[in-house]
Each structure stands twice: as C-alpha cells, then as structure tokens.
A and B are shown apart, each in its own frame.
Chain A
C-alpha cells in the first residue's frame, strides 16, 4: 500500500496548487535554458546560412556579429584577386527601428550582394527570393510583415516579396534582406540638403583622384547615390564574405589576406567561436545564474511544503512508529511525496512550456539534453527538499500518539 499517494489524495488541493507553482517555476528554468539555446542557434544560424569560408572584417574588430565593423567595399575587389577565391560578396548589416502601421518594429537589415546573391539560401516559408536589384525585401516572420506589404525605410519603400523562418540577429531582431545597395541607402539615408552637399563634395574629391583617369565614367557617377559608387566616398560595408574553390586551404588564403593592413580575417569557424564566446557567452552565464537561483528557490519551496506536510502528519507518523514501522517506511513516505511533487511539477513544466514557448518573442529551443538535465535537477531538488521533512519525521517519537 502506498501511503504517499493516499496522503497526497487526502491533501489534493494544497498538493496540486504547490505542484502547479513548482511546475511554473521549473517551466521558467526550462525556458531560460531554451532561450539561451535559441540565442545560440539564431546567432550561429545566420553565419551558417551565409556559408562563407572566410570573413574579412574591419581591422582589429571581431566582426559584424560582435561589434560595429566597417570597411571599404572595395576590399571585395581585392579579395577576388587572391588565388583560390571562387567568390567574394559584400555583407552589410545594421539595425533600424521604424514605425510601421502604428507599431514600432526593429529590423536588422542584411544586404545581399545582388545579383550574385539573390538569397536562394534563405529558409523561405512563403513568397520568393529577391528578383530585382531594388526595392524588394525578404523579411523574417518575427517582424510580422506579410508578402506584398510595403515598408518605408529612408526615402524609399520596399515591398516584402518573401518571408523567412528563424532568421534572427544575435540581438534578437528579425532580419530583413535587401540588396547591398538598398541596405546602404537605408543606412546612409540623410536629408535632401545633406545629400546634395555630400554629392558636391564627392564630385570635388573625384576630380582630384587618379581613379578618374583610369575610369572616366566615375566622375559622372560621383553625384549619384552613394550606394551606387562603391569606389568612391563613404561606401562602406560590414564585412566581405569569401568563398573558396574546392580543395583550397582556408588558412593559406587567410594568411594572404592578413597581409592587408586595413582588415582582420576570420575563418567561418573563428567567426562562430567569436560569436559564441562574446555576446552569447555572457547571455549564457547570465541565464545560467538565474537558473541556479530558480532551482534553489524551487528547492526551498519544496522543503517548505514537504515540511508542513510532515508536520501535519506527526501524529500519523507517531502512530506508524508505534505500530513498529521501520524508519524506511517513514522516510519513504516523505521522499515519495517529494518525488511525486517533483514529477508532477516536471510534467506540468513540460506540458505548459511546450504550448507557451512558441509564443515567446525569441526562439526557445528545449533540447532532450536540457530535459534530462532538468529531470536530474528536479531529482536533486526532491532529495534536498525532503531532508527537512525527513529530519522532522525521524525525530517524531511514538510517544507523541499520546499527546
């Protein structure tokens, strides 16, 4: 006969309430792990999807995912000349926050090297990739934009042609993919007067540069939008992504490019590690500490409820001891109640979490590893939480039946 289950049934209301409370707490513990995992996956996902072998970033920086990186877009042309390079693309990213239909959305804009890169690698769930060089965008579903919708950024409006899934910046903002020139136009959008002055100044600069000798057309283009003249003026990008021909050793190409004084070069793996060790690692430790605190709180709540449940049973425990029950019967009673509480709370955490996490603004990824870890943590909580109750139960003397 199982005493624990019968006692629980007798105190069902209180027990259920505690189990729900504890379950919600465990759900948060689970969710926090999932949030971290989500941050990690989101961060790495973009790098993986972009699928570059080598990243060229601003000198002495850790790249556009960790900090601000700006380098001249002409580095792309230089990259093309390195033996073994099969492709070089400009990468540009920056975050804007705009009003759209009465709500404020944060968009992390990523420029695609049109026409070389039309975004065919994007995980598109509806619509299509970019099909023209201007005024189209592919937006992540977290931005809440539908295919066909128009979003005004800077002076122009961009039509959403496709929607992606899980494309999120390391800062948690949904990504929108534009062509590089559109992305630059959004980034360097300024007032008409400022633009006019800048173009005049640019023309002035162009007249004094050797480039005009070798590329006569450049002078005319100097007064066009900045995004259209990569060789002139303030045209900078966040990074250059390089792909290598099959069989080429990334380390060799890396060492060649590191000879250039104005850039720092990472392999894709370096870039991933930098990301995971930098902002993501801090998030991990932050979240980890919270989880430890929550686990401790869970243990305290568990202790408290098991202790009071034991106090309520002092007379019954005395009676059991009077009947000659062995210590393990009494310890088992408290411990089983602890595990029942822990088990039910765990189930509640899992079931509610499963339904609730998809509505969270950021991805919450609960892995099997994490579930196992939590089950282990709950088992520890149960044992620790029942210690106080067990100590009380052990100190009950059969004599107390008389009182």
Chain B
C-alpha cells in the first residue's frame, strides 16, 4: 500500500467522451491525457462548454469515458466505459467532491453532513463525531455545526462541503467551480484552503474555475478548449 503514495493520485490516458450519436453527437473530450501527483494542487480552466465538467466527472468515476483509461493511485480503474473496480467503493475511499452549489443534504445539519460521509466510509460513533468537529473547526464553521444548510451563508456552506469532502481522507479532491457562488474575497479564501489541504494531506486537488484572479494559488494550470487539453507550464499569474 505504501507504493500508492508514489503513483500519481490520478492519471488519464487519452480519454474521449462523446455524448449522443449521429446528428446530435457532441465530442466533449478528445484524447485528454493528464496526471496529478499527490500533494499537487491543479486548476482547470476553459471556456463554457469546453468539457471541464465532463473531464471532472469522468475522473470522479461518475460519468464513464467513451474510450481511454483512468488510473487512480497507479491502478487502471476504467478502460472506456468498462470499470475494473467497485466504483462506489473507490469514490467512498479515495475521492472527495465539491460542486458549485447544493453540496449539502438539506435535511441534515452541518455536522451531520460531515458525519454521513464518515458513516458511509464506516466511521461511526464518538471517533466520527470528533473527526467531524475537528474538520469543521479547521474550516472555521464549528460554531455552526448544529445548523441546517439553509441557515448558513454561501461561504459557510462551501466550507462545510469541503469538510465533508475531506472526511474520508481522499487521495483526490475534485472541485467543480466551488467558488462561483462566492464573492472574490471568499472565493480566494476557499482556493487557499484547497492549497493547504492538498499540501498538508498529500492529496491531489483538481479545481475547475473561471476565476483568473486566484490562479496564483495553484501549483499548475491546465487548459481545456473544445475538448482538447493543454498544459500551462507557466503560471498565468499575469493574465
């Protein structure tokens, strides 16, 4: 299991995704190959409709590619639409997700939203509660633990969502426009949080964003256009 830390958190080998068929066919991804090491925090940029969400959901094992391989911690988990592992289990044990909004279950309190993720991973009782409170505390929302999501501000909701995504100590954190609903100051704070988390937990982090101003937070930036992936080796801080 130790060698897992040496393999990239995620790697895709020429994955393509085609939606529909015939006249309505849309090629959302074309031979996209990329790799994120553990502890690496990467931004994914691209115009609307360029395939960012498609790539993220393919990596997240919720939207299988039409062809190409997905490797997690060095192991091929998908080849085209075929899966080689229990995807639910992989998501449970290795992946964390954060979306633009509605990340939380509305009928559970902030604390319970974190607890449910732990419970799904088999952590229950006192240890679960302690870990959940630690997470909420480290994200600065411990005082709102008992509140339902509807009673939290957008930024607080996203922090709870981050806490929830981190609960199972994922090796890969996937975030799709997590700051779109936040003002730029708060957005930047959340991005910095991702950076810290990635570095501290030795987790790979992939964040889809439109926010050019926060790009300096990331180790690396990838760019998608019309389903084609390109690397920005230079930090586009000057954009």
B99 lies within 8 A of chain A by Cβ: yes
B88 lies within 8 A of chain A by Cβ: yes
A10 lies within 8 A of chain B by Cβ: yes
Q: Taking A6-B108, A399-B62 as contacts, is the C-beta distance between A323 and B176 under 8 angstroms? A: no
Interface size on B, residues (CB 8 A): 31
* A324 in contact with B62 (CB, 8 Å): no
A315 lies within 8 A of chain B by Cβ: yes
Q: How far is the CA of A6 from the CA of B146 in the complex (A)?
A: 13
Q: Taking A6-B112, A329-B120 as contacts, is the C-beta distance between A319 and B105 under 8 angstroms? A: yes
A322 lies within 8 A of chain B by Cβ: yes
Chain B residue at smallest Cβ distance from A321: B88
Rounded to whole Å, the gap between the CB of A336 and the closest CB of chain B is 13
* B102 in contact with A315 (CB, 8 Å): yes
Q: How far is the CA of A321 from the CA of B120 in the complex (A)?
A: 10
Q: How far is the CA of A326 from the CA of B122 in the complex (A)?
A: 11
Q: How far is the CA of A321 from the CA of B57 in the complex (A)?
A: 13
Residues of B within 8 A of A11 (CB): 107
* B116 in contact with A3 (CB, 8 Å): yes
* B120 in contact with A320 (CB, 8 Å): yes
Interface residues of B in 61-116 (CB under 8 A from A): 62-63, 88-93, 95, 97, 99, 102-103, 105-108, 112, 115-116
* A402 in contact with B176 (CB, 8 Å): yes
Could you count the A-B residue pairs with CB atoms below 8 Å apart for me: how many are there?
70
Rounded to whole Å, the gap between the CB of B234 and the closest CB of chain A is 31
* B119 in contact with A319 (CB, 8 Å): no
Tell me the interface secondary structure of chain A in the complex. Answer: helix
Chain B residue at smallest Cβ distance from A319: B105
User: Which of B99, B120, B148 is packed against the most chain A CB atoms within 10 Å?
Assistant: B120
Residues of B within 8 A of A9 (CB): 107
Chain B residue at smallest Cβ distance from A318: B62
* A398 in contact with B91 (CB, 8 Å): yes
* B97 in contact with A401 (CB, 8 Å): yes
Interface residues of B in 112-149 (CB under 8 A from A): 112, 115-117, 119-121, 148
Residues of A within 8 A of B99 (CB): 401-402
Q: How far is the CA of A322 from the CA of B63 in the complex (A)?
A: 11
B53 lies within 8 A of chain A by Cβ: yes
A189 lies within 8 A of chain B by Cβ: no
Q: How far is the CA of A401 from the CA of B177 in the complex (A)?
A: 13
Chain B residue at smallest Cβ distance from A317: B105
A258 lies within 8 A of chain B by Cβ: no
Residues of B within 8 A of A6 (CB): 107-108, 112
A316 lies within 8 A of chain B by Cβ: yes
* A324 in contact with B116 (CB, 8 Å): no
Q: How far is the CA of A402 from the CA of B92 in the complex (A)?
A: 18
Rounded to whole Å, the gap between the CB of A311 and the closest CB of chain B is 14
A201 lies within 8 A of chain B by Cβ: no
Set B53, B108, B120: member contacting A323, Cβ < 8 A? B120
Residues of B within 8 A of A10 (CB): 106-107, 148
* B106 in contact with A316 (CB, 8 Å): yes
Given A6-B108, A6-B112, A322-B62, 14 other A-B residues pairs in contact with their CB atoms under 8 A: A6-B107, A11-B107, A316-B107, A323-B97, A323-B120, A323-B164, A324-B120, A324-B121, A398-B91, A399-B57, A399-B63, A401-B102, A402-B53, A402-B62
9 contacts between A and B (CB under 8 A): A7-B107, A322-B62, A322-B91, A323-B91, A323-B164, A324-B120, A401-B97, A401-B99, A402-B57
Footprint of B on A, CB under 8 Å?
Answer: 1, 3, 6-7, 9-11, 315-316, 319-326, 329, 397-399, 401-402
What are the nearest 5 A-B pairs in CB distance?
A324-B92, A10-B107, A324-B91, A398-B62, A316-B105
